[in-house]
Amino acid sequence: MRTMLCWILCLAAAPAMAAVQLDKLSLPKGFHIEVYSDQVPNAREIALGAKGTVFVGSNDAGKVYALTDSTGSGHADKVRVIASGLQLPVGVAFKNGDLYISAVSKILVLRDIENHLDTPPKPEVVNDKFPTETHHGWKFIAFGPDDKLYVPIGAPCNICDKGKDYAKLVRMNADGSGREDVAYGIRNTVGFTWRPGSHQLWFTDNGRDLMGDEMPSDELNKLSKAGEHFGFPYCHQGDTLDPEFGKGKNCKDYTPPVLKLGAHVASLGLRFYEGSQFPASYKGALIIAEHGSWNRSKKSGYRVMTVRLNGDKVASYEPLLEGFQQNEQAWGRPADVQPLADGSLLVSDDLAGAVYRVTYARSNSAPAGALSKP
C-alpha cells in the first residue's frame, strides 16, 4: 500500500476477507476468469516453483502460502502455510529450489522448499541489514537475469528527502553478499520485471499523496543504466516539481516515466506476457495490477491493465480485468500478476484473499460467474 496511513485505514475499514464476486468482473471477449484459490488471506506477490507450486506472500499473520494444483484442473486443490510469524512477508522469489521471502528488514530463505511442502524448513536469514521502518518497508522482490536478487528500499514517508539511503532499488547475490545500489529516486516500487530479449528492467512506482485527486500520476519506468535517478522527492511523473522539495531542481535532470499510469491507482505487480494462450496482440505486452486508490474523492485503479509496446514506446494502455469496485465500493484489490506455463494468468487479490486464473478460449463459452465484454 502507498502509506502507513493507508494501511491503517484500509485494515480498519475493510473486512478481513471480502466475498469474491466474479460476476462483477469484465474482461475482453474470449477471456474468462475463475478462482484458483480463495484461501489465501491478504494475498500479495506470486512466485512460481520449478515443479509448478504457486507461492504467495501475504501480510496475514506473517504467513507465506504454497498452492498446488495436483490434478491439472486449473484450481489449487491444496493450500499450505509454509511460514508464519514473519514481519509482513509480502515478497517471494524462487531460485534453484529455494524460496526467498522479504520481511521488512530481512531477506529470508526456505531451502529446497518444493520437496518439503508438508514439513517446511525453518527460514534462514540471507541478509538482515535493511531498514526497519514499516512505512513502505514491505517489499516486492525478484531475481534478475544476472541471477541477483533485487530488493527495493522505499521512502519511509509520504514525501521526504533521505538522500541515497532510501527511495532506491538495490541488488545482491543470492547469499546476501555484494549488495549494491541500482537506481535512485524511486518512492515505492511494488513491482518490477525484465523484458525478454533486452533484459531491461521495467518497474512501477507509486506517486506521492496529498497533492490532490489528479496529481501526481503513478509511473511505469524503464531502467537504461545503473545509477539512474527517477526524480523522487524532487520531481513527480517526469514533469512536475514537488512544492516543497522541488525548489531549485529541474525535472530534466531525472529520468521520466515511459507511461503515466494515473493518479493514485496504486500500481503494483507487473509481468511481461510471453505465453501463447492469449491472442497474439498480448505477446510481449506488460500486464499490471492496479491495487486501487485509498485517498481520492472518486476511486481509481482496482483493475488489471495491459500495456502494449512498440519498441520502448507505449502503443496502448487498456483494461484486461476490471470490476473490483462499483459505485465507489470495492470488494477486491489486485496486487500481483503471474503468467503460468500454459499461458494462463494468475492474479492475486489481497482484499478478497484470493488468487484468480485468467484464461482465453475464443470458441468456448465463459465459465459461470465470469463475464466477457461484447
- What ranges do the domains of the chain cover? 4-372
> Could you read off the pLDDT of 232-290 as tens digits, one per residue?
999 999 999 999 999 999 999 999 999 999 999 999 999 999 999 999 999 999 999 99
* Mean pLDDT (whole number) for 8-34: 76
> Could you read off the pLDDT of 85-116 as tens digits, one per residue?
999 999 999 999 999 999 999 999 999 999 99
> Could you read off the pLDDT of 115-162 as tens digits, one per residue?
999 999 999 999 999 999 999 999 999 999 999 999 999 999 999 999
Give the Å distances, CA to CA, from 371 to 27, 210, 336, 365: 6, 36, 21, 10
Bridge partners (DSSP) of residue 271 are 287
Residue 115: CB atoms within 10 A of its CB come to: 11
Burial class (CB in 10 A: 0-12, 13-18, 19+), 363: exposed
Give the whole-number percent of the chain exceeding pLDDT 90.
Answer: 87
pLDDT at 16: 54
pLDDT at 18: 83
d(C-alpha 201, C-alpha 219), whole Å: 14
Residue 15: pLDDT over 90: no
Torsion of CA 224, 227, 228, 229, to 10 degrees: 160
Give the whole-number percent of the chain exceeding pLDDT 70.
Answer: 93
pLDDT at 55: 98
Please determine, looking at this structure, whether the domain spanning 4-372 carries the CATH number 3.40.1280.10: no
pLDDT at 297: 78
Q: Are strands 180-184 and 228-229 parallel, antiparallel or unpaired?
A: parallel
Say which range, 1-10, 68-77, 285-294, 359-368, has the weakest mean pLDDT.
1-10
pLDDT at 302: 96
* Mean pLDDT (whole number) for 67-93: 97
DSSP state of 146: T
pLDDT at 363: 59
Inter-residue contact 45 to 55 (CB < 8 Å): no
> Could you read off the pLDDT of 335-371 as tens digits, one per residue?
999 999 999 999 999 999 999 999 999 754 444 344 4
298-331 as b/e: b if 16+ CB within 10 A: ebbbbbbbbbbbeeeebeebeebbbbbbeeeebb
Higher pLDDT, 351 or 212: 351
d(C-alpha 345, C-alpha 273), whole Å: 9
Give the Å distances, CA to CA, from 260 to 192, 239, 298, 314, 315: 16, 11, 18, 10, 13
DSSP state of 196: T
